[in-house]
């Protein structure tokens, strides 16, 4: 059976991820199939809305298929990853700009590429098991798929904190940080889906869960207002609180280069970026990630050898010149968007 089930039901275009054994990780063929379906339904008068969901209790989509990227990258085929990220980012932009409502139902883990698939929808639904996170810095990558725009728009300095630490957001935190629009108990999702298939978009109001991040905001805003990852780390080291100790522990596990570039991207984007600007800036990093960054080593340590002991290129703060080099314009390789993405 296909890894992504694409069909029309009633007035809905249905996209269902179907790799539950792989936590619905998004492969390149899946990405292309989704993008083609969206293009096909754009001018289909019978399709009033799109529903994106997934099979399995554990995950909506736990990220991209990084094992394939590792295999190709270590063989010297960097073009595969560059093409995957380019086409995936265009699909992310298409979802955000889609002229019809797009409803995403995100249970369990929604991470990395799953955020790009679900969190740019016009109607983003979470339930009691939802856990949304951007753990890319832990494998030598920056939060991408347009997530840097979502992070930049988050209240205060939450975006910088979430991007660097990869902290998981439950449903309440996801709503608070702007990664979701509504909480609906998962027992109600079948009825909601049936209503959507009929062509009606009525999201029943429900009280959301607690948002622990809201309580931490004063500490997050104070420390993560610093201009760089090195300055943020210095600020945390001067604080004896449990929050500072825990955050320093999380930062110690990530790629210094990826973490520094994540903060730099947030500062470059400002508080109200366009999605296209975010995707273009992210692509500068990911286009270079296999040849120049810590990405392949991060995957090796986390997924291939699973020794959890990555040998990052830097043991201390990444040099400013290298941060600038990873985020420099790409010239003829700059990410562009097809004209049919409004």
The mean pLDDT of 205-232, rounded to a whole number, is 91
Residue 338 lies in a domain: no
- Cβ count within 10 A of residue 76: 9
Q: Identify whether 339 is part of a domain.
A: no
Instruction: At 149, list the tokens.
Output: 């725009």
* CATH number of the domain that residue 298 is part of: 3.90.226.10
Of 27-36, 55-64, 81-90, 200-209, least confident by mean pLDDT is 200-209
Does 15 score more than 90 pLDDT?
yes
Cβ atoms 278, 144 nearer than 8 A: no
Q: Is 109 helix (H, G, I), strand (E, B) or coil?
A: strand
Name the helix (H) or strand (E) containing 105: strand 102-106
- For residue 3, pLDDT over 90 is answered with yes
Assess whether pLDDT exceeds 80 at residue 34: yes
Torsion 118-123-129-133 (CA) sign: positive
Model confidence at 249: pLDDT above 90: yes
pLDDT of residue 342: 65
Mean pLDDT of 256-268: 98
What's the confidence (pLDDT) of residue 273? 95
For residue 242, give its domain range.
4-333
Pair type for strands 131-133 and 109-111: parallel
332 has a pLDDT exceeding 80: yes
Residues written for the chain: 342
Average pLDDT, the chain: 95
Q: Is the pLDDT of residue 315 over 80?
A: yes
DSSP run (H or E) holding 60: strand 59-61
Q: Is 42 exposed, middle or buried (0-12, 13-18, 19+ CB in 10 A)?
A: middle
pLDDT of residue 185 exceeding 90, the answer is: yes
Interval 126-148 mean pLDDT? 97
Strand partners, 111: 133
Instruction: Kindly report the pTM of this predicted structure.
Output: 0.96
* Cβ proximity of 155 and 177 under 8 Å: yes
Instruction: Name the token pair of 78.
Output: 């960097």
- pLDDT for the residue numbered 301: 95
- 68 pLDDT band, cuts 50/70/90, is confident
Q: How confident is the model at residue 184 (pLDDT cuts 50, 70, 90)?
A: very high
For the chain, the domain total comes to 1
Whether residue 240 lies inside any domain: the answer is yes
Instruction: Tell me what the mean pLDDT of segment 171-176 comes to.
Output: 96
- The answer to whether residue 340 sits within a structural domain is no
Asked if 10 and 65 count as a contact pair (C-beta separation under 8 A), the reply is no
pLDDT, residue 79, reads 96
**pLDDT given at position 143:** 98
What CA–CA distance (Å, rounded) separates 103 from 114? 14
| Rounded mean pLDDT, 285-289 | 97
**In a domain? residue 148:** yes
| Residue 241 lies inside a defined structural domain of this protein | yes
Do 127 and 230 touch, CB atoms closer than 8 A? no
| Residue 256, Ramachandran bin (φ over 0: left; ψ between -120 and 50: alpha; else beta) | alpha
């Amino acid at each position: 059976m296909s890894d992504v089930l694409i069909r029309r039901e009633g007035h809905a275009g249905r996209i269902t991820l179907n790799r539950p054994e792989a936590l619905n990780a998004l492969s390149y063929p899946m990405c292309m199939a989704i993008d083609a379906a969206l293009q096909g339904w754009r001018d289909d008068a019978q399709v009033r809305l799109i529903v994106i969901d997934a099979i399995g209790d554990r995950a909506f989509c736990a990220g991209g298929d990084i094992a394939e990227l590792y295999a190709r990258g270590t063989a010297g085929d960097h073009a595969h990853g560059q093409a995957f990220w380019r086409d995936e980012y265009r699909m992310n932009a298409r979802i955000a700009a889609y002229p019809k409502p797009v409803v995403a139902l995100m249970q369990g883990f929604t991470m990395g590429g799953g955020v790009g698939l679900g969190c740019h929808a016009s109607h983003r639904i979470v339930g009691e098991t939802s856990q949304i996170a951007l753990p890319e810095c832990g494998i030598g990558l920056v939060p991408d798929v347009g997530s840097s725009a979502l992070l930049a728009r988050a209240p205060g300095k939450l975006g910088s904190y979430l991007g660097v630490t990869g902290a998981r957001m439950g449903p309440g935190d996801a709503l608070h940080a702007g990664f979701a629009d509504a909480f609906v108990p998962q027992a109600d999702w079948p009825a909601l889906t049936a209503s959507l298939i009929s062509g009606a978009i009525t999201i029943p109001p429900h009280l959301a869960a607690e948002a622990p991040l809201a309580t931490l905001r004063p500490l997050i805003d104070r420390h993560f207002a610093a201009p760089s990852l090195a300055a943020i780390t210095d600020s945390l080291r001067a604080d004896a609180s449990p929050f500072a100790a825990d955050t320093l522990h999380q930062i110690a596990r990530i790629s210094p280069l990826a973490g520094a570039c994540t903060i730099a991207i947030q500062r470059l984007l400002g508080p109200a970026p366009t999605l296209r600007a975010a995707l273009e800036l992210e692509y500068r990093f990911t286009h270079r990630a296999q040849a120049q960054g810590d990405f392949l080593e991060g995957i090796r340590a986390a997924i291939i050898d699973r020794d959890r002991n990555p040998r990052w290129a830097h043991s201390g703060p990444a040099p400013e010149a290298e941060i600038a080099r990873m985020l420099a314009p790409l010239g003829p390789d700059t990410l562009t968007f097809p004209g049919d993405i409004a």
